[in-house]
Amino acid sequence: MSVPTWLITGASSGFGEAIAKDALSRGHTVIATARSANSLKHLAELGAKTMALDVTASDAELASKMAEIGTVTHVLNAAGYLLEAAMEEATAAESEAIYRTNVLGAVNITKAVMPGLRAVAADGSAGVQPVIAHFGSLGSWIGGAAVAHYCSTKWAVSGLCEGIREEVSEFGIAACTIEPGYFRTEILNTAGGKSRRVQASEPKSDIYGEDSAVGKYKAALELSNNKQPGDVLKGAKVTVDVLTKTGVAEGKEIPPRLVLGSDAVDVIRKKCQETLKLLEEWEDIAKSTGYDE
């Protein structure tokens, strides 16, 4: 098999960084990107090619970047962050910003790389199946007080990737959403250069106090920071295995969704059971809305 070439957004921290390191350790080629190239120096020292890339840039800017990058086989959209805010606490600018990065950023990168991935698939000489992968989350399945913005962006990303998978499979391209539970990354940090948790600039603590659902969820996020059960290094290894169909995934096809973490498995199973129960409870009413034949 030829050596995979990865393009990773959001590679300065979290899963993006861990996957970049794992891929490099296997001798893969990695183009690691982030808003600031300075945040990627440690990956450059490990052998990655690094560059500044803003996923919210214009189509023309991203097309120019893709021309500079050249051929890639594996594209991983890991750029994103968490907005901690009740729905009405977030300003319009804060609401728009998280959608622009978490959702439209994934759209922008997908559009920019698709011509190249189609060419790789058609040529066949790379010896690997080209892949477009997005980071969803446990939040792709469940919402929560104080994280409605974040969870809704992850629902959108998972739905986006599900549609993309149908669109590109006929070209020989795989598409997969990675949906981790709680892993010990920087996602819940509120300070430092690798912070990915942004808090509302105009909190309404008089409405959403400590005893409210929002207040309790915010406190739970703080308590769980750096105590998450998931090991990001193990999660990264499994992700690289699955997206390259090697290791634990040898002989398997790339799935539409890759759930990571025991907590995610348990919560998603419960959500599916609750959804089936809901359908059964409301089935007669749901089916009563069609035309009478």
Number of domains into which the chain is organized:
1
- Residue 81, SS3 per DSSP: coil
pLDDT for the residue 196: 74
**Residue 111 placed within a domain:** yes
Nearest to 131 by CA among 99, 79, 178: 178
Residues 200, 88: Cα–Cα separation, whole Å: 10
Residues 238, 240: Cα–Cα separation, whole Å: 6
Residue 33, H or E segment: strand 29-34
pLDDT for the residue 31: 98
Residue 279 has pLDDT above 80, yes or no: yes
Q: Each residue of 131-169: b (16+ CB within 10 Å) or e?
A: bbbbbbbbbbbbeebbbbbbbbbbbbbbebbeebbeebe
> Residue 36 belongs to what domain range?
5-262
Burial of 34 (0-12, 13-18, 19+ CB in 10 A): buried
Six-digit token string for 262: 């025991």
- CB neighbours (10 Å) of residue 234? 14
Confidence class for position 189, pLDDT limits 50, 70, 90: low
CATH code of 24's domain:
3.40.50.720
Nearest to 15 by CA among 136, 128, 104: 136
Mean pLDDT across 127-146: 94
- Residue with the two structure tokens 């698709």: 114
pLDDT for the residue 6: 98
Residues 185, 232: Cα–Cα separation, whole Å: 7
Residues 125, 106: Cα–Cα separation, whole Å: 27
Helix pair 104-123, 92-102: axis angle to 10 deg: 10
**Residue 272 placed within a domain:** no
**Residue 70 placed within a domain:** yes
**Residue 292 placed within a domain:** no
pTM here is: 0.92
Q: Which residues pair with 8 in a beta bridge?
A: 32, 76
Mean pLDDT across 99-127: 94
Which has more pLDDT, 131 or 221?
131
**Residue 186 placed within a domain:** yes
**Residue 289 placed within a domain:** no
Residues 35, 217: Cα–Cα separation, whole Å: 30
Q: What is the pLDDT of residues 237-249, one digit of tens each?
A: 999 999 999 999 9
Six-digit token string for 169: 């499979």
**Residue 293 placed within a domain:** no
pLDDT for the residue 78: 95
**Residue 192 placed within a domain:** yes
Gyration radius (Cα) of the chain, Å:
20
Residues 251, 127: Cα–Cα separation, whole Å: 15
Q: What is the pLDDT of residues 202-217, one digit of tens each?
A: 889 888 888 899 888 7
